[in-house]
Chain A
Amino acid sequence: MSDQLADEDRRDGHAPSGVSRRGFLSTTAAGGVAAGVLPAMHAEQNAGASAAQKAAPDGHSSTLSVTVNGRRHQVTIDNRTSLLDLLREHLALPGTKKGCDAGACGACTVLVNGRRVNACLTLAVRCQDAEITTIEGLASEGGELHALQQAFIEQDAFQCGYCTPGQIMSGVGCIREGHTGSREEIREWMSGNICRCGCYVKIVSAVAQAARKEG
């Protein structure tokens, strides 16, 4: 099993880290993969910052440009598309997870212009010129994990891992907002992220660890 994971590491262009990371790192690595295989239909990079948001002829879809993890994309989408589906289905960034799709679980948490929000309740069409950060965009270009990603590994702050990307993005927001003064405060300000495995104690420890490191 560990050999197989190590092989995947090499294929993804990541050096083995020596840390047991199972599904967790493969999630963060997906950003690297996606960036290499983005479908040509998403004309990107040269869209131009001034590209005006246009309604497509049928009136029910729109063209917009949006920056995700530092990369600019121009896409034409049905107006009903959520930011969550834009990321997962159109931009090949499946790290952000769909849990309830109703703003009740926090699995889809991403940063929009630096603030944590629920991507499932965000209409993508409203994200013209927005700067989005997803779990795939947290690690450095060289593959060095964000302090909170590292803390989740060290604290073993997950079991199935499905809520983890949302937990981490929400935790990044929580630390930025300065709501990490006590375990109690972290619990309250992380309450928008449900973990059905019940890893809350270790999640709070991971957020506290990363907050100490960053603070």
Chain B
Amino acid sequence: MDPFTYTKPADTRAALAAGARGGRYIAGGTTLVDLMRETVERPGTLVDISGLPLREVRATSDALRIGALALMSDVASHPRVRGAYPVIAQALELSASAQLRNMATIGGNILQRTRCTYFRDVNAACNKRQRGSGCSALEGYNRAHAILGTSNSCVATHPSDLAVALAALDAVVHLRGPDGERDLALTRFLLQPGDTPDREHDLRPGELITAVEIPSHPTPLRSGYLKVRDRQSYEFALTSAAVVLHITGGVIRDARVAAGGVGTVPWRLSAVERRLTGQRPSDRLWAQAAEVAADGARPLRHNAFKAELLQRTVERQLRVVGGTR
């Protein structure tokens, strides 16, 4: 780990000033400290934002606002979250370990960096770590890598489960920076790699995530998250599916489905959603909709299995959330 200076601002204004001077924000630190130890991350100054008042989970009449510094464990156990959006609670509780969930924050979870082993190995070529150095995963061991949203520069997955659930719920990211506040849809905030995989998000210099907001959804709303992985717990996803359904009168009025473990960003499955909307739930419908889950996939040498696994993951979770009549 490289030496760094440390500062802990007392308020958001002081934090933004320190960030504007080039300081690196640290919240839970579970990704950043790990990567600093590997010298993948080498910040000269850490700005500890854990003292800022951004921890609150608040339900308003038309939205649920989750402070960026709320801990994963606190959000997962929050009664309002569990009641209205089981998909969020499930995605969180299927992430990491109880210890890490006691440290990691919601904002940091969205910004966590990929688990691609070549990204984490400073001796390997990686365009995300060093633009233009090449991608070791393209011809290397790429079983865990992405099949959607990839480019010739990068095939690394976005590792967050929470972000998949949030993408399905059309979550909005609230940002605050030296130039003021702005909001951005999560799916626009996180960037596909293209030719610049080192740019992972639309965060401007010195800008902070202050909150994540879930807009209101029609009720009754059913939702849930399924995560498929190499071991039963404490592991990243090979594939995952967040399913959100609004069913009244025996008809699916609104369907939102997103996938994890397969994309360079959380991946909305709009083709699946189109096949569901306006239809009556049935085992046949779930299978027909899931058929198009991997449309557009570009498998690599070792991860072609993910396309079929994704279809099955989506089909199963549609059945779990939608029930069968």
Q: Which residues of A contact B196 (CB under 8 A)?
A: none
Minimum CB–CB distance from B299 to chain A (whole Å) comes to 28
Within 8 A of B (CB), among A108-145: 109, 115-118, 121-123, 125-126, 128
B89-108 vs A: 1/0 string, CB under 8 Å?
A: 00000001111101100000
Q: Decide: B46 and A103 in contact? CB cutoff 8 A.
A: no
Q: Which residues of B contact A190 (CB under 8 A)?
A: 98
Q: Decide: A121 and B5 in contact? CB cutoff 8 A.
A: no
Given A126-B29, A126-B48, A192-B97, A79 contacting B3 (CB threshold 8 A): yes
B1 within 8 A of A: yes
Q: Decide: A117 and B99 in contact? CB cutoff 8 A.
A: yes
Q: Which residues of B contact A10 (CB under 8 A)?
A: none
Q: Which residues of B contact A121 (CB under 8 A)?
A: 29-30, 33-34, 100, 103
Q: For the complex, give the distance between the alpha carbons of A136 and B97 in Å.
A: 23
Q: How many contacts between A and B, using CB within 8 angstroms?
A: 87
A174 within 8 A of B: yes
Q: Decide: B29 and A79 in contact? CB cutoff 8 A.
A: no
Q: Decide: B99 and A123 in contact? CB cutoff 8 A.
A: no
Q: Which residues of B contact A116 (CB under 8 A)?
A: 98-99, 102
Q: Decide: B102 and A123 in contact? CB cutoff 8 A.
A: no
Q: For the complex, give the distance between the alpha carbons of A55 and B5 in Å.
A: 8
Within 8 A of B (CB), among A75-112: 78-80, 82, 101-103, 106, 109
Given A102-B37, A103-B34, A80 contacting B99 (CB threshold 8 A): no
Minimum CB–CB distance from B194 to chain A (whole Å) comes to 30
Q: What class of interface size applies to chain A in its complex with B?
A: 35 or more
A60 within 8 A of B: yes
Q: Which residues of A contact B37 (CB under 8 A)?
A: 101-102
Given A62-B6, A79-B4, A121-B30, A106 contacting B99 (CB threshold 8 A): yes
B8 within 8 A of A: yes
Q: Decide: A192 and B103 in contact? CB cutoff 8 A.
A: no
Q: What are 18 pairs between A and B in contact, CB < 8 Å?
A: A55-B5, A79-B5, A79-B6, A82-B33, A103-B30, A103-B100, A106-B97, A116-B98, A118-B30, A118-B99, A121-B29, A121-B33, A121-B34, A170-B99, A174-B98, A189-B98, A191-B234, A192-B98
Interface set of B (CB-CB < 8 Å, partner A): 1, 3-8, 26, 29-30, 33-34, 36-37, 46, 48, 50, 73, 96-100, 102-103, 232-234
The 10 A-B pairs with the shortest beta carbon distances in the complex, nearest first, are A192-B97, A191-B233, A60-B3, A191-B234, A59-B5, A115-B102, A80-B1, A79-B6, A192-B99, A121-B33
Interface set of A (CB-CB < 8 Å, partner B): 53, 55, 59-60, 62, 78-80, 82, 101-103, 106, 109, 115-118, 121-123, 125-126, 128, 170, 173-174, 177, 179, 187-193
